[in-house]
Structure 1
Amino acid sequence: MEDEEGYTALNLQSRKDTSGTASPSGKQGAAVEEEDGYTALNRRPKRDSASPTGRQDGPPCPRRHLIALWIGYIGNVILAAAVIALALQLKGKPGTEAGRSIGPCSENCSAALENFRSRLRSGLCNQNPSSSSVNSTCKFCPEHWRLHRDKCYWPSADIKSWHESQDYCSARRSHLVVIQDKEEKEFIQNITVPGPRYWIGLSLSSSPENKWVWITGLQIDPNLFQEPKGATRNSCAAIKDPMNTITVDKCNTERRWVCQKDTTFL
């Protein structure tokens, strides 16, 4: 049993010695015989690092670490709740991919856009603002382009080869000019500078027939232009003043050019 000082006392009954003598008490220094015949063993208590519950206690966790853990946990809960609420809101919102419907905002935007178009038709073409865009005849061209009927034209001031000229026009959603009638032919004459030759969208096809074909696939109109004679492969057409003739040059020759594109209707 353990006394108040932490020592363990073992109460053992003494054995009678047949010799009638008691064992010396001072030799071992570990056992002392008391007056009532019991032997007390005094030994130092063994230090146990384990807690009374059997678990080994580690260093106490700082309070600030516990606070940080709780803040992180609460933050994750709030973030998850916000994501769920946003998903539910988008699911039932009109005009979204999930709703597959057009809400009042889209209708209002369409009305505002139509009102803006009406103002443009009134300012640019002097049309009645109440007229519909379906039957509108208001059309315009980009800046520096020239309007003629339902086409826009842009004469260059630089020089390039025929293929480079076509690439330049294609980059601006247009193509080399295709002349279809005398009125258009006269308009091209008016917007170009007298003297230089201009590439047009006409070239000699690579077929065995060696036909002159416009870039749109149409063949040359003999009533509008006389078909050039004696042309060889890699030949392209340019126009010169007066506009009743077509000149033939190698396609890699550098000349001015004229781009053509459709107008934009309001």
Structure 2
Amino acid sequence: MAGEIVYADLKTPSGPHASSQLCPAQQLNVPWTPRWHQIMLWVACAGIVILVAVVIILGNSPCQICPVQWHLHQDKCYWASKDLKSWTESQGDCSAKGAQLAVIQDRKEMEFLKNITEDAQRYWIGLSLSEKKWRWITGHQLDQNMFQGLLSTAEEDSCGIIRGSTISPDICTAVHGWICQEDPILI
């Protein structure tokens, strides 16, 4: 047997369909998966990419909410009272709520306050006269250009009230409704 050559006949499929007779897993040596599994995998990957993009976008623009019965406008929450109190008592009530009397920054804000107080009642805002200068409770001086001369007739011990779209003075011990403002909750 030494030096003998052995021959073997291999029978392999031949013809135009020969390669299709083998299972795809045998051809590539990988598990076979139906075509719809592959499609679903691509759809799932695309969904994950979209979900990640949405999370990133929403993470950069937080949602703002206000407590019940408060109104959101721009970056502040507002609440209008139904009771009547003096300016000092009104500020105390706002403080107890973790807020302050409203500080009006511009005409749009004033228009918004007019809309949430739609009645003829007067409301205290965070404005008072001190040393012949109108100041907001934040310490900032009133921009007279924005509210041109509306408060020029005030006497000492005057505080600001809003009625509709008008700011006017009244003695701080008078009783009116009041408007509190606070920062919204970010979620």
Q: Distance in 1 between matches of 2:155 and 2:146?
A: 22
- 8 A contact 1:199–1:257 mirrored in 2: yes
Q: Distance in 2 between matches of 1:247 and 1:222?
A: 13
Q: What's the counterpart of residue 183 of structure 1? A: 108
Q: Distance in 1 between matches of 2:110 and 2:155?
A: 25
* Partner SS, residue 196 of structure 1: coil
> Is the counterpart of residue 212 in structure 1 residue 137 in structure 2?
no
Residue of structure 2 aligned with 1:137, choices 50, 62, 66: 62
Q: What's the counterpart of residue 80 of structure 2? A: 155
Q: Distance in 1 between matches of 2:85 and 2:78?
A: 17
Q: Distance in 1 between matches of 2:142 and 2:157?
A: 17
- Percent identity between the two aligned chains: 50
Unaligned 5+ segments in structure 1 are: 1-127
Deviation at 1:237, TM superposition (A): 0.9
- 8 A contact 1:159–1:254 mirrored in 2: yes
Q: What's the counterpart of residue 171 of structure 2? A: 250
Q: Distance in 2 between matches of 1:238 and 1:138?
A: 31
Q: What's the counterpart of residue 264 of structure 1? A: 185
Q: What's the counterpart of residue 172 of structure 1? A: 97
Amino acid of the structure 1 residue aligned with 2:126 = G
* Partner SS, residue 141 of structure 2: coil
Q: What's the counterpart of residue 160 of structure 2? A: 237
Tell me the TM-score normalized by structure 2. 0.67
Deviation at 1:229, TM superposition (A): 2.1
Tell me the TM-score normalized by structure 1. 0.48
Q: Distance in 1 between matches of 2:186 and 2:71?
A: 15
- 8 A contact 1:136–1:265 mirrored in 2: no
Q: Which structure exhibits the higher relative contact order, with contacts defined as CA atoms closer than 8 Å and separated by 6 or more residues?
A: 2
Q: Distance in 1 between matches of 2:110 and 2:169?
A: 18
Using a 3 Å threshold, how does the CA distance of structure 1 residues 138 and 238 change in structure 2: closer, same or farther? same
* Partner SS, residue 247 of structure 1: strand
Q: Distance in 2 between matches of 1:140 and 1:226?
A: 33
Q: What's the counterpart of residue 66 of structure 1? A: none
Q: Distance in 1 between matches of 2:138 and 2:111?
A: 20
Deviation at 1:218, TM superposition (A): 1.2
Deviation at 1:254, TM superposition (A): 0.5
Computing the radius of gyration over CA atoms, which structure comes out larger, 1 or 2?
1
The 5 Å alignment of 1:1-266 reads 128=54, 130-131=55-56, 135-205=60-130, 207=131, 210-227=132-149, 228-241=151-164, 243=165, 245-266=166-187
* Partner SS, residue 60 of structure 2: coil
Amino acid of the structure 2 residue aligned with 1:229 = S
Amino acid of the structure 2 residue aligned with 1:249 = D
Task: Please tell me the root mean square deviation across aligned C-alpha atoms, in Å.
Answer: 1.8
Amino acid of the structure 2 residue aligned with 1:203 = S
* Partner SS, residue 142 of structure 1: coil
